[in-house]
Amino acid sequence: MDHFEGINFSELWTGIDACGFYLKPIVKIATGGTTGSSLGICGYYNIASGIYDKVMVVGWEKLNEGGATTGIITAFDPVWERPSLAGALGPLALMANIYASKYGVERSMKAAADVVVKNRSNAANNEFAHLQMPNITTDFVMSSQMISYPLRLHDCCPQSEGACAVIYANENEAKKITDNPAWFKGVSTAHYYTFGTDEKMYNLPTATIASKKIYKKLGIKDPVKDLDVAEIYEPTSWAELAWCEALGFCDFGQYAKLLDDGVTQMSGELPVNPSGGVLSTNPIGATALVRFAEAAIQVMGRGGKRQVPDVEVAMGMGFGGSLWTELCILGKDPKPLR
């Protein structure tokens, strides 16, 4: 996003010469926090439609010339929202407050801290992760500096610089590239604008809408049983609580039980964010594409220390402004899931 970078036409940094080879055409996609997943979905449709045989999708963020917080502030209504919801932390803190008021403050704070411990520990197995903290504890997270109640320092994602590239190809071209590709089973998207003070925003209703659409299309009845791994966009620990519930992994207010039962741990029935997630690495223009890429890496069995055994089906999720949710589900082969 240009206003994140602080430079107009920031994609011209790359240029054809900088790529080292000739690309035609070069198309820019920018949708805020969902930029990466919008890129991923555009790559899918460009191949599935037959327009192109191969596409390279690239997302990146280099913030030394600008700042995402400054850009996000300008996106809010200047009278009703900007004074209390500056940047991303204001509305995310409001979401966490509403969640805590509905499902219990102490229980929710403990669950949120458990999410941080899980994801930052997972990140220690990911050589590309920004924050790698293999030995932190729940008490350590809950004693960190308060940023915007109830969000503490370690409940929040970092602001990272980084990039991600994914190659898309049709079936014939894919066979020339690799004998073990990850195949798109489907994609889904949902969004609408809402004021930051709307109560309904806390549980990301677009995640429910988008997931129901893709589950119905692919015949998924129980995502915990039918998916093998999920890479979820969680800018805060509290977001993983509410948004995994919105994706149908459990009933609303019950994600803490999934954590307690180990369901979403690396060794659980549905590992969530084996890469460490957004809580550990957040190059905004690439962040959602990383979720798609990590889902593909898991299906292809290329995760190294962060690899979940025997992955057949994986989900990737993007999130951004206007409560935008974008999903992909990838599989081991091109056949339908059901």
Domains within the chain, CATH numbers bracketed: 2-331 (3.40.47.10)
- 86 has pLDDT over 70: no
Q: What is the token pair recorded at 338?
A: 């059901």
Work out the pLDDT band at 17, boundaries 50, 70, 90. low
pLDDT recorded at residue 89: 83
- 275 has pLDDT over 60: yes
pTM over 0.85? The answer is: yes
Query: What residues contact 179, with CB distance under 8 A and at least 6 apart?
Result: none
Stronger pLDDT, 191 or 157, i.e. the higher one: 157
Decide if 292 contacts 166 (C-beta within 8 A). Answer: yes
Query: What residues contact 323, with CB distance under 8 A and at least 6 apart?
Result: 191, 192, 193, 194, 201, 204, 205, 206
pLDDT tens figures, 21-73: 556 677 888 887 889 999 999 999 999 999 999 999 999 888 765 566 666 77
- 76 has pLDDT over 60: yes
Stronger pLDDT, 61 or 108, i.e. the higher one: 108
Q: What is the token pair recorded at 77?
A: 């209504």
pLDDT tens figures, 157-185: 998 999 999 999 999 999 999 999 999 99
Could you give the percent of the chain with pLDDT greater than 70?
A: 86
